[in-house]
Amino acid sequence: MTVTARVLGVLAAFDAAHTVLTLTGIARRAGLPLSTAHRLVGELTQWGALERGEDGRYRIGLRLWEVGALAPRSVGLREAAVPFLADLHEVTGENVQLAVLDGTEVVYVDRISGRGAVNVITRVGGRLPLHATGVGLVLLAHAPPELQEQVLAAPLRRYTDRTICSPSQLRRVLADVRRTGVAVSDRQIELVALSVAAPVRGPRDEVVAALSVVVPADTSDARAYVPVVRAAARGVSRTLATPPT
Same domain flag for 124 and 213: yes
Q: Where are the beta strands (DSSP E) in 21-175?
A: 50-52, 58-60, 95-102, 105-112, 127-129
Over residues 18-67, the pLDDT tens digits come to 889 999 999 999 999 999 999 999 999 999 999 999 899 999 888 887 77
Q: How confident is the model at residue 161 (pLDDT cuts 50, 70, 90)?
A: very high
Same domain flag for 96 and 139: yes
pLDDT of residue 10: 93
Which residue would you say has higher pLDDT here, 113 or 46? Answer: 46
pLDDT of residue 203: 86
Same domain flag for 131 and 190: yes
Tell me which residue of 64, 11, 6 sits closest to 36, measured CA to CA: 6
Same domain flag for 89 and 61: no
Over residues 200-228, the pLDDT tens digits come to 998 888 999 999 999 888 888 889 999 99
Same domain flag for 39 and 160: no
Same domain flag for 210 and 155: yes
Same domain flag for 96 and 182: yes
Final residue of a structural domain among 41, 68, 95? 68
Average pLDDT of the chain is 89
pLDDT tops 80 at residue 197? yes
Q: 3-class DSSP state for residue 81?
A: helix
Same domain flag for 58 and 85: no
Instruction: Give the CATH number of the domain where residue 106 resides.
Output: 3.30.450.40
Q: Measure the CA–CA gap between 213 and 92, rounded to whole angstroms.
A: 8
Same domain flag for 211 and 222: yes
Domain that holds residue 234: 71-241
Instruction: Give the CATH number of the domain where residue 37 resides.
Output: 1.10.10.10
* Cβ-based burial of 76 (10 A; exposed 0-12, middle 13-18, buried ≥19): middle
Q: How many structural domains comprise the chain?
A: 2
pLDDT of residue 16: 73
Same domain flag for 98 and 51: no
Final residue of a structural domain among 17, 46, 68? 68
Which residue would you say has higher pLDDT here, 1 or 103? Answer: 103
What's this model's pTM, rounded to 2 decimal places? 0.75
Same domain flag for 54 and 76: no
